[in-house]
């Protein structure tokens, strides 16, 4: 089986802007209390925003040990059917107006492409799994190879 492991990290531009703006905002809130509380809020706000961004951008998508691991879900490959590559336009459609509320979705809006994988387990009411990925062709080929082999 071919290995697949991808981390859906946040864009680089977010790493500069979000912690900076969060720190500045918190610093401005505490400005009336003086320069020391403002400076402490600036540092703490930036650090907390950076930690939150790190957690949000640490989502992993893997195919390992006969399972698709996407975020907190571990789905056996035997329960999955056909997988489709979704370009940016199709991915947006499946995130919005085509989406089924019963579907399991692992998405990051900053990743434009995705894969939609049919769930074939009759015991599972989930119709499909939607997974954001920067390498949809690779994920589909690994899933196909894993099912065939």
pLDDT in tens, 36-65: 999 999 999 999 999 999 998 889 999 988
Predicted pLDDT of residue 17: 94
Please state whether beta strands 128-132 and 104-106 pair in parallel, antiparallel, or not at all (unpaired).
Answer: parallel
Q: What is the mean pLDDT of the chain?
A: 92
- Statement: residue 1 has pLDDT above 60: no
**How far apart are alpha carbons 12 and 66 in whole angstroms?**
33
pLDDT digits (tens, 9 = 90+) for 87-118: 999 999 999 999 999 999 999 989 999 999 99
- Inter-residue contact 140 to 85 (CB < 8 Å): yes
Give residues with Cβ within 8 angstroms of 123, minimum separation 6.
Answer: none
Q: 133 near 105, Cβ under 8 Å?
A: no
Q: Residue 46 CB: number of other CB atoms within 10 A?
A: 19
Mean pLDDT computed over 11-26: 94
What is the rounded CA–CA span in Å between residue 3 and residue 54? 24
Alpha-carbon dihedral sign for residues 11, 14, 19, 22: negative
Res 34 pLDDT > 90: yes
pLDDT band, very low/low/confident/very high, at 134 (cuts 50, 70, 90): very high
Higher pLDDT, 137 or 56: 137
Q: What was the pLDDT predicted at 149?
A: 62
Answer yes or no: is pLDDT of 74 > 60: yes
């Amino acid at each position: 089986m071919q290995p697949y492991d991808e981390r859906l990290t946040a864009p680089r531009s977010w790493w500069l802007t979000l912690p900076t703006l969060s720190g500045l905002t918190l610093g401005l809130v505490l400005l009336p209390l003086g320069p020391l509380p403002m400076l402490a809020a600036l540092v703490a706000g930036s650090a907390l925003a950076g930690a939150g961004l790190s957690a949000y951008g640490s989502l992993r998508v893997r195919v390992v040990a006969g399972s698709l691991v996407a975020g907190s879900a571990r789905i056996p490959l035997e329960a999955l059917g056909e997988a489709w590559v979704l370009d940016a336009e199709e991915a947006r459609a499946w995130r919005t107006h085509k989406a089924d509320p019963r579907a399991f979705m692992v998405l990051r809006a900053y990743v434009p492409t995705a894969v939609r994988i049919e769930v074939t387990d009759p015991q599972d009411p989930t119709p499909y799994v939607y997974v954001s990925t920067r390498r949809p062709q690779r994920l589909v080929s690994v899933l196909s190879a894993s099912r065939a082999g």
